[in-house]
């Protein structure tokens, strides 16, 4: 049975692309779930019985439960989890999803979600827009990993882009924040930062990663021909 209040609330939420409380308040309470930090939202290999729409917080997708090496991607609102499995008729979830912060998620049974998008063209259109954005992000990540398969090149290319417009460039992120941004575990990040420093691709001044004109010349020579 189609829940009209849920349908209307989802349309407003997806159209505005903002997980504001005023939009969440439009949704029936029994469909909105809170997952605390480090709580599992989706178990890989469980049957695909629900669609999850991440509306607040950040989560991490794992191919295996190894928090150092199993990370596939980091996700943020608005992301529809389980949608690709549903559209491709895959019976089991293909990854683990774990809350990186406290997360609010709209959880909808697959059968109900199917009926909702079949019966409401506006909701279907909004879901397609989200799917398009998800696909574009996945293609971008795939291209990056193909062109920059080594962590050191991914880090070097990141600093090349950041320092292209202004130098000296001083990175304001902590090492922990960089490891999350680049999807590289912290130990690996430290190792490759040291390697980049020894090659004079980066400088480290008072603990801050800095790109000088001299550093940039080497980065430019290494990465200027790469377009992602």
User: How long is the chain?
Assistant: 228
Structure confidence at residue 16 (pLDDT):
78
Tokens of 46: 């469980």
Question: Side-chain half-sphere of 56: how many Cα atoms within 13 Å?
Answer: 16
φ/ψ of residue 195, rounded to 5 = -65, -45
Residue-level pLDDT at 17: 64
pLDDT at 141: 65
pLDDT tens for the chain, residues 1 to 228 = 568 889 988 898 888 765 556 677 778 889 999 999 999 999 998 999 999 999 889 998 887 665 444 667 778 888 899 998 888 888 999 889 999 999 999 999 999 999 999 999 999 999 999 888 887 776 666 555 555 667 888 899 999 999 998 899 999 999 989 988 888 888 889 989 999 999 999 999 888 999 999 999 999 998 887 755
- E strands, the chain, are 32-35, 40-42, 50-56, 59-62, 71-75, 79-81, 96-99, 103-109, 169-170, 203-205, 208-211
Which value, to the nearest 10 degrees, does the dihedral of the CA atoms of residues 97, 79, 37, 96 take? 0
Q: pLDDT value at position 139?
A: 64
């Amino acid at each position: 049975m189609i829940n009209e209040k849920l349908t209307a609330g989802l349309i407003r939420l997806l159209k505005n692309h903002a997980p504001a409380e005023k939009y969440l308040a439009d949704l029936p309470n029994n469909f909105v779930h809170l997952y605390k930090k480090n709580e599992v939202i989706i178990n890989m290999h469980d049957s695909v019985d629900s669609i999850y729409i991440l509306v607040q917080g950040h989560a991490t997708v794992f191919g295996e439960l190894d928090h150092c090496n199993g990370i596939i991607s980091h996700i943020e609102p608005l992301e529809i989890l389980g949608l690709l499995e549903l559209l491709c008729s895959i019976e089991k979830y293909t990854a683990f999803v774990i809350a990186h912060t406290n997360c609010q998620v709209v959880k909808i049974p697959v059968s109900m979600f199917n009926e909702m998008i079949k019966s409401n063209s506006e909701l279907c259109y909004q879901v397609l827009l989200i799917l398009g954005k998800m696909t574009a992000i996945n293609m971008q990540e795939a291209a990056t990993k193909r062109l920059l398969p080594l962590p050191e090149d991914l880090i070097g290319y990141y600093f090349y882009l950041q320092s292209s417009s202004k130098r000296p460039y001083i990175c304001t992120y902590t090492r922990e924040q960089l490891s999350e941004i680049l999807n590289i575990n912290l130990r690996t990040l430290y190792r490759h930062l040291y390697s980049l420093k020894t090659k004079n691709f980066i400088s480290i001044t008072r603990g801050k990663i800095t790109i000088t004109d001299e550093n940039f010349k080497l980065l430019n020579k290494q990465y200027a021909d790469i377009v992602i």
